[in-house]
């Protein structure tokens, strides 16, 4: 199976800079990158104003899941440092940019696109929905 960005060569720093630039251009008020204890980039959080209210948004990278899929499919390249990490972040970059393009065309609102990732305390709307209603199965 072909996966988007499997063969990306773009450095991680370049991808995160593009994400940050895109978010700032779309009026993000706060941007924070999350890291593991080992220094691996694990997620992105940012704040947007909706009316008079600041909404926090948290996008996870889920690199372990990306690594597992690439390994299962025989696509992981052990000679490329942080291969799965770069694949995951390339897809986040592309997704954020695609959402912003739809926002620019008034096809959607920012809070609509990012709804599952809006924070309520320390949990996202998706996490709250999943735990409260147990309506969605756990991911693989």
Q: Does residue 118 belong to any structural domain of this protein?
A: yes
Name the burial class of residue 131, with classes exposed (0-12), middle (13-18) and buried (19+) by CB atoms within 10 angstroms of its CB. Answer: exposed
pTM of the model: 0.88
pLDDT score for 131: 84
pLDDT score for 53: 94
Q: Does residue 7 belong to any structural domain of this protein?
A: no
4 close to 66: Cβ distance less than 8 angstroms: no
Q: Distance between CA atoms of 57 and 68, rounded to whole angstroms?
A: 26
Strand partners, 50: 53
Q: Does residue 67 belong to any structural domain of this protein?
A: yes
Phi first, then psi, for residue 97 (nearest 5°) are -65, -40
Q: Does residue 46 belong to any structural domain of this protein?
A: yes
Q: Does residue 139 belong to any structural domain of this protein?
A: no
- Element spanning 89, H or E: helix 83-104
pLDDT score for 78: 72
Q: Does residue 5 belong to any structural domain of this protein?
A: no
With a cut of 70, which residues of the chain have pLDDT below it? 79, 81, 135-140
Tens-place pLDDT, residues 99-135: 999 999 999 999 999 999 999 999 999 999 888 877 5
- Element spanning 128, H or E: helix 125-133
Domain that includes residue 63, residue range: 12-133
pLDDT score for 62: 93
Query: How many domains are there within the chain?
Result: 1
Q: Does residue 27 belong to any structural domain of this protein?
A: yes
Q: Does residue 18 belong to any structural domain of this protein?
A: yes
pLDDT score for 63: 92
97 close to 22: Cβ distance less than 8 angstroms: yes
């Amino acid at each position: 199976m072909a996966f988007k960005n499997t063969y990306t060569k773009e450095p991680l720093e370049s991808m995160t800079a593009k994400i940050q630039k895109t978010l700032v251009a779309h009026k993000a008020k706060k941007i924070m990158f999350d890291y593991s204890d080992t220094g691996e980039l694990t997620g992105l959080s940012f704040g947007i104003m909706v009316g008079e209210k600041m909404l926090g948004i948290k996008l996870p990278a889920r690199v372990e899941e990306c690594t597992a899929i690439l390994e299962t499919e025989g696509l992981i390249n052990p000679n490329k440092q942080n291969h799965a990490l770069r694949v995951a972040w390339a897809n986040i970059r592309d997704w954020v940019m695609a959402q912003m393009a739809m926002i620019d065309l008034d096809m959607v609102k920012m809070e609509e696109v990012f709804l599952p990732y809006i924070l309520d305390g320390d949990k996202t709307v998706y996490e709250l929905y999943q735990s409260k209603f147990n309506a969605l199965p756990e991911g693989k």
